[in-house]
Amino acid sequence: MLAPLFSVKLFAALFFGTLIGLILGILPGLGPTTGGALILPFTIALDPLSAIILLTSIYCAGTYGGAITAVLINTPGTPAAAATCLDGYPLAQKGEAGRALGIATVASTFGGVFSVFVLVAFAPLLAQIAYEFGQPEYFALAIFGLTMLASIGEGSPIKNLMAGAFGILVSTVGKDFMTSIDRFTFGINELSEGINFIPVVVGLFAISEMLIQSTMLNQIFNRVALKAIRLPSKNDYKLIWKTILRSSGIGAFIGVLPAEGGTVASLIGYSEAKRWSKEPEKFGKGSIEGIAGAEAANNAATGGAMVPTLALGIPGSATTAVILTGLIIHGVRPGPALFREQPDFLYGIFGAMLFANVLFFAFGILGAKIFARVTLIPNQFLWPMIFSLSVCGTYSLGQSYMDIWIMIIFGVLGFFMRRFGFSVVPVIIGLILGELVEGTLRQSLVIFDGNWLMFLQRPIVILFFFLSIMALLTPYIRRKRALSS
């Protein structure tokens, strides 16, 4: 599994990806998703394996990095670290910031390593099942992936579906792949090849976040001093080891489910840690079990979320949607063929994720105090630099000013979407899966000679149609139960 990494270039991508991920995770408002979107244009110059190793190491380290600001300034660097604030910051205010970060580092590392083994075990299994897939099955799978839009973002199910439908509409811009007729180009020649993923991703994540942060320039955070970071004591280990094991299992399972991810995993891991604790009254006041429960779960979700991404081509989280975009632009199509034809590529990814977790453990123990100083950079200086980086990266993709305009337009669109309660993640998923839905539907109808009823003669298709219906109904069933209880 680790043999593909014995290369100076690949290890350099892993090292710098982990370092960049930590810094991005520490900076409130960035995180691995926005950071991955920013780095994505610059991976074009890399070979596919180096590019994906860079993105996955950013994913792993960025998920942990959010805990540092959660503990020190009560501001989660990533949404997945929101639950860490509940006990991390109160413990830091007691003068035990180092202890809090030590707990977070150990729990995050264990959860991340655990998730890699889940990825190695279950991704090939899913790929073997997918060998039976033809174009009709892939169409049904893509439909199932689109129904996950109802729960993949922070918005309401209806708003998420609307955003996903818009993403599908964007995917239809350009020449029809069967007739070569221009669609929705409005006479603009640059749009005839379609709208590229990268300007949309950078705009929706990075530029929209920059606009949101610009409305909070006067916000003042309380900051606490970090004297030292230390590993948990033996007594701490006795108290948290069951919590770490439980939350790692919860996080890996939730990560495997398409459309969930680290944020949901951390909240459930935290709540379960409180439910099983012998001292639940300490939660919210500096409980190390609360920190361990949240951090083990959100980092365990990273490897779990890569399972459907690699085996089925359905992102398990917002960041894996960026990674999936990276795979596609490098000509790598996730699915069963990937496991059969490029096993070295896959095991390079598995090994990179394992090493990334070990590296951020070392960085977290030795350099957390240094990384924490990044939070002192004023937003007035930070975000103009990020905007410049976004423009340069987007323009470098095709040396086209149209890509920059697309980035800005989608950045403004993302800003208003988030202001009005829409999640931007479904737009990306719709953009990625929209082409797959259209292509497989049209090819299936050619195979079936235009007979739609033949979809119902294939058991796997029926199964995914049933799961799609259940996925659409589940949010409403949960809401009714919550109202009735």
Query: Among the residues of 312-342, which ranges form H helices?
Result: 318-329, 336-341
* Cα–Cα dist 18/103, whole Å: 19
Going by C-alpha positions, the residue among 21, 20, 115 that lies closest to residue 309 is: 115
Q: pLDDT band at 87, cuts 50/70/90?
A: confident
CA distance 100 to 90: 9
Token code pair at residue 50: 């180096």
Of 19-33, 94-108, 253-267, the range with the lowest mean pLDDT is: 253-267
Instruction: Say how many domains are in the chain.
Output: 1
pLDDT tens, position by position, 168-189: 898 888 887 777 788 888 888 8
Is pLDDT of 151 > 60? no
Determine which of 57-66, 143-152, 198-207, 371-380 has the lowest per-residue pLDDT on average: 371-380
What tens digit of pLDDT does each residue of 355-371 get? 888 888 888 777 666 65
With H, G, I as helix, E, B as strand and everything else as coil, classify residue 252: helix
Asked if 397 contacts 198 with a C-beta cutoff of 8 angstroms, the reply is yes
Average confidence (pLDDT) over 378-393? 74
> Average pLDDT, stretch 444-451?
87
Cα 263 from Cα 464, distance rounded (Å):
26
Range of 387's domain? 3-484
pLDDT higher than 60, residue 222: no
396-426 pLDDT, tens digit per residue, is: 666 788 888 998 999 999 899 988 888 787 8
Give the amino acid at 370. Answer: I
- Report how far residue 434's alpha carbon sits from residue 436's, in angstroms, rounded to the nearest whole number: 5
- What confidence tens digit (pLDDT) does each residue in 334-355 have? 777 777 777 778 788 888 888 8
- The residues near 433 (Cβ < 8 Å, ≥ 6 apart) are 142, 145, 146, 168, 314
